[in-house]
Amino acid sequence: MKQRNPKSQGLAYKRLPRRALILGGLQAAFIGGLAARMRFMQVDQADEYRLLAEENRINIRLIPPTRGRIYDRNGQIIGQNTQSYRIVMVREDAGDVDEVISNLSDLIPLTQDEIDRAKAEMRRSAPFLPVTLADQVTWEDISKVAVNAPALPGVTPEVGTARLYPRYEDFAHVVGYVGPVSDYDLSQIEDPEPVLRIPRFQIGKVGLEAKQEITLRGKAGAKRVEVNATGRVMRELDRQEGEAGADLQLSVDADLQQYAQARLAGESAAAVVIDCETGDIRAISSAPSFDPNLFVRGISVADYRTLTQDNYRPLANKTVQGTYPPGSTFKMITAMAALEAGVVAPGSTVYCPGHLKVGSRRFHCWKRGGHGTVDLNLSLKRSCDVYYYDVALRTGIDNISEMARTFGLGVKHDIPMSAVAAGLAPNQEWKERVHGESWLVGDTANASIGQGFMLASPLQLAVMTARIATGRAVKPRLVRSVNGVEQLSGAGEPLAVNPANLEHIRKAMFSVSNDRGGTAYRSRIIADDLRMAGKTGTSQVRNITKAERAAGVIRNEDLPWERRDHALFVSFAPYDNPKYAVAVVVEHGGGGSKAAAPVARDIMLQALYDGTPPLEAYPVGDRERIREQQKRLEGDRRPKARPTEKERA
């Protein structure tokens, strides 16, 4: 065996302690670092890790907020929350789900839709979470479930809240209704609040409920619950109540609203009443209407089909969504534009032979033989079309369009209702931009009498009338206060028009309703201190051919309903001190003087007297008919008995 050199062996022994020291140092550094890290985690970060461990055991769950209530201007409840009984099932406790549901359906009425929806929700949810089988059931049904509890494992009755609209059809188009949050609803919100993901949480779908959703919803509370490893709730540790939604007080008078709905019954129509002083909407009625409570519960296919197949379109809000050619109710705007442009003076006259030739086309007056020589007052009183054709051609469509917007037409008014339409006050630029065509002189003639492209909603016509009555830019106000805090008035500033010209328009409207020969004379108010000024309107929905004119225009009564003219009437009263402005549109009602003016007069009197007016306010010849009408409407307006849950089912 070869022996190592003693010198090299000595050098090796010297290097060994150096290696040991380096290795030992590295080990010591590692152990020290590990110890420091352990100290940091166990001492410095102890609270954080304790919280993480706690979150594995304690969950925070949201508490739905109480939705704000809705009142009318006098404090009558319009939208409220009520106790609601429901039946829920926990899948893992039920065992055979189908058998339990079958046993339950023998006790209480369950539709196939309810069963299918519940089973689908069970498949999406954890087995220990309760799923609603039946909502808004009666106390009798709750009792049946409790008595038969042994045969219904996993089934439990619960108490919750539901939205109720105690005025039924009266406010359906104004307030709208709530419903469960859908996937579509969530897709329309950029960053949905967690509360919206609570099963069956309800939000506003249409109307005020939707437009004021954030205000009415409130803020969710929270509770801390202890759960086991599978997520089952073991106990509640504490809770923090949320913030209830704000209560809203509307400007609408519930009694006047109810009267307007009753007065419009049997028609496809709309009526709007505006307070001239404040802009408050005192009534805004669309007929026919519907029961919004049906949608809260989940409307049946049969009920929904009934609503959608009705030719009178009960789901449409005609007051703000419906736009119609304003017909002769627009003549005040044409006259005002002509006066302001200096084209005519109040005493200027135009001869009406029954038509006006514009280019190669004849534009006819509604009176075949013509009205003869008329000035501003007489043209409005008798609603002569030729006068307005003539002055409009001299005034120009751009001036007329600008005047229309000054008085609230062609403008989308800012009120919290669904599908508020802007209407249309067309001009030359609009037609070129939208249709790619030049404006024609015939277009101006049509627009001058509220036909052609011109469109307005009943709300806009009421605003127009309030502005004519006051000379101020009255703005409609629907929400009067939020949690008792008064909202901005809609009184408006003075309009930038000559007050003298506006006074001539008002006098002519007075003649329409109060002078013999005025188109609304038969629907006048005879109480001296409540005299009404107004204007009738009839807007065509069909073209009248030359052949028909030659043979005689077919009467509305002889046409199918959907081809008859729309009937319109606008008014304000009292004439000397305007308090209310009213606009009424009756779809396919025929003439405005016959179908719309009597309705507007009755609603106006109801508003002025704040209740049933005395017969002495009506013309003598109308009083017997009005007496019978008042009796009938009083019966229609009696409080309705709320249907039982069984009747609803």
**Is residue 569 scored above 90 in pLDDT?**
yes
Q: Which is more confidently placed, 541 or 564? A: 564
For 233-260, write each residue's pLDDT tens digit.
567 778 888 899 999 999 999 999 999 9
pLDDT higher than threshold 70 for residue 61: no
Q: How far is CA 233 from CA 125, 509, 559, in A?
A: 15, 72, 69
Q: CA 440, 445, 447, 452: dihedral to nearest 10 degrees? A: -70
CA-based nearest residue to 296, from 435, 161, 144: 161
Measure the CA–CA gap between 621 and 102, rounded to whole angstroms: 66
Percent of the chain with pLDDT over 70: 88
User: What are 341's two structure tokens?
Assistant: 């442009």
State which amino acid sits at residue 304.
Y
Predicted pLDDT of residue 540: 84
What three-state secondary structure class fits 161? strand
Among residues 467, 398, 404, 402, the alpha carbon closest in space to that of 429 is found at 398
Confidence bin at 113 (pLDDT 50/70/90)? confident
- Residue 50: pLDDT band (50, 70, 90) is low
pLDDT at 84: 81
Q: Environment class of residue 301 by beta-carbon count within 10 Å: exposed (0-12), middle (13-18) or buried (19+)?
A: exposed
Average pLDDT over residues 299-326: 94
Per-residue pLDDT averaged across 207-226, rounded? 89
Mean pLDDT for the stretch of residues 615-639: 88
Dihedral sign computed on CA atoms, order 381, 383, 384, 388: positive
Q: What is the DSSP letter of 324?
A: B
- Among all residues, which ones are annotated catalytic? 328
Above 80 in pLDDT, residue 574?
Answer: yes
Per-residue confidence (pLDDT) for residue 649, from 0 to 100: 42
**Interatomic CA distance for residues 110 and 433, integer angstroms:** 56
Give residue 10's pLDDT band: very low, low, confident or very high (50, 70, 90).
low
Q: Are 447 and 430 in contact (CB under 8 A)?
A: no
**What are the pLDDT digits (tens) for 602-616?**
999 999 999 999 999
Average pLDDT over residues 472-479: 98
Count of helix runs (H) and strand runs (E) in the chain: 25, 21
Helix H segments across 95-134?
Answer: 97-105, 112-124
Nearest in space to 589 (alpha carbons), one of 354, 318, 380: 318
Mean pLDDT of the chain: 88
Whether 587 has a pLDDT exceeding 70, the answer reads: yes
Residue 15 pLDDT > 70: no
User: Which tokens belong to 248?
Assistant: 């809203």
**Please, what is the angle between helix 499-514 and helix 331-340, to 10°?**
150
Q: Which among 219, 5, 174 is positioned nearest to 79, based on CA atoms?
A: 174
Range of weakest confidence among 61-70, 172-181, 351-360: 61-70
Share of the chain above pLDDT 90, in %: 61
- pLDDT for residue 644: 42
Name the token pair of 299: 């409307």
Q: What angle (nearest 5°) sits at the alpha carbon of residue 517, between those of residues 382 and 392?
A: 10
Is it the case that residue 51 has pLDDT exceeding 60?
no
Mind listing the pLDDT tens digit for each residue in 489-529? 999 999 999 999 999 999 999 999 999 999 999 999 999 99
d(CA 505, CA 470): 12
The average pLDDT across 281-289 equals 98
The answer to which of 27-31, 213-217, 339-343, 529-533 has the lowest mean pLDDT is 27-31
- Domain residue limits, the chain: 58-76+167-250, 83-91+101-162, 254-636
Q: How many CB atoms lie within 10 A of CB 517?
A: 10
At residue 641, the pLDDT reads: 47
Is residue 250 within 8 A of residue 225, CB to CB? The reply is no
pTM: 0.84
The closest of 218, 217, 213, 210 to 174, measured between CA atoms, is: 210
pLDDT > 70? residue 303: yes
Cα separation, 197 vs 567, in Å, equals 47
93-97, 183-187, 531-535, 552-556: least confident range? 552-556
pLDDT at 160 over 90: no
pLDDT at 205: 95
pLDDT of residue 43 exceeding 80, the answer is: no
User: Per-residue pLDDT for 14 more than 60?
Assistant: no
Please write down the HEC assignment for all residues of 544-583.
CCHHHHHHCCCCHHHCCHHHCCEEEEEEEECCCCCCEEEE
Per-residue model confidence (pLDDT) at position 6: 58
How far is Cα 600 from Cα 274, in angstroms, rounded to an integer? 12
Instruction: Assign 384 a pLDDT band (cuts: 50, 70, 90).
Output: very high
Specify the CATH superfamily of domain 58-76+167-250. Answer: Penicillin-binding protein 2a (Domain 2) (3.90.1310.10)
Per-residue tokens: 71: 């009142």
DSSP letter for 195, please. G
Q: Please tell us whether the domain made up of 254-636 is placed in CATH 2.130.10.10.
A: no
